[in-house]
Structure 1
């Protein structure tokens, strides 16, 4: 349905061609005005106009303008490779692939866990901002593994509280450069945005408290496989704390990893995987645990190192 307009030709357009007059009156291009005339959408004094007709001031113009184009609404799409590990009335637990963020953010055009689930028909809790519905914690875009989302309002508030009060068991495996000394330990160092403002985080005096426990599982010639347990959940926490120990996650070029080693191992992202998540189920009251195997790219690196 178009928008119908009816009015006299203004005096200032006396003697102009009909397409030029139309373009001036309605802010159209000459081409678009000529198309409207050709489509029979313009009548001058009751008769169908031709684009080269000269108009006279006061002549009656009837125009049907097309509706303005509407921007296509981006429809969420399921995320290829994202597996649902568990779903019930209150929670959904996914195994997040690489290259996927938790929820839509400014400047991110790739897939998100949130939209992927909504596209698959999963109903999520609507607490908090619309773009963060159901989100109680996050994994970086290129960190893979277990992530839980809230489906009910009850689960949303219970899980938010559990994460805040450090009641959630968060286990990660990461491959770091070199060999940490001691082989097991704790990094307790506050984290905040890096003063450079380039999107990195750093150990900063007066930052937010951050505690990371690590334990060496396996040592290779140039790298070590660690199990990491997080007490807090700061952005990039493991990556920042490992870099602060001078043992950055392999492949993590944002935090100083050696590009030559990454290339040799054929890895194009940080070797960091959320292997397990344990918490009290928000409505059933029992402790639940979910685990995820290494994805193919990370697994291949470990197998190559073992053969080395």
Structure 2
């Protein structure tokens, strides 16, 4: 078989032309020549989260599958900023889901394989842009051979679960502290140090063993905090959004997030993240958290929300840390 002859054949050129005519006829969105490529956004030395978010939230049309895969990558980055293999695995699963959806839509699951159905699924619905911009740069068939199973992703999430939940709990305390910080000359400002003191008080009350079942040690909290500055607001915001009987954060940690099923929560998620930056981080003495989060969420509209209720024990400890400070009388 002469592959070069087949590639150059009139018959193949006619088939390619026919697919292009189909795409134009049905006005399926194509990749914009000014849009950054998937490789530029995702596969460089750093995940370009701001660029990914621009595409995910934009009202402009994107070629089929682009937002789906980018949103899975963005969620993976928000959960585990330094875990590139996890991020790539989530995106590869999103690629498989995208392609599988179109196999289903043309009936390839219920009918024997034929060229008509395969061509429509692969080159019209899945799309040439998707195949060239995402599927191939991500690794094609080799990426599927190396992909983590969702069980492996859950194991990674389980290893980080308590540190994430400790960060979220600390941010809940800071949310309550920010609510009480109305007059700078009288009130204590929210700070990580105050949150860790509340957790330390709770540890004394619960006992070290019971505390360890829910939270990580102070040093691990500080490690997670310092290594996840861009994503802290997003973690806390996700924990406050209900998706049926779970939080959006739990859905993400279980590897169950998909753009198709959860896109209606994205604006609320990032909007709440912006509110965390403005309401909590902006009041903290160190302005770095605020600036870092605002750079990521520039242009996003803040969506205020109330802090969840605390247990009586937590309320007592929080009051002791964020009580009003009285100005001394001047003689």
Asked if Structure 1 and Structure 2 have the same fold, meaning a TM-score greater than 0.5 normalized by the shorter chain, the answer is no
Give the alignment's TM-score, normalised by structure 2.
0.19
Give the alignment's TM-score, normalised by structure 1.
0.20
Larger proportion of strand? 1
Larger proportion of helix? 2
Larger Rg: 1
Q: With a CA cutoff of 8 Å and minimum separation of 6, indicate the structure with the bigger relative contact order.
A: 2
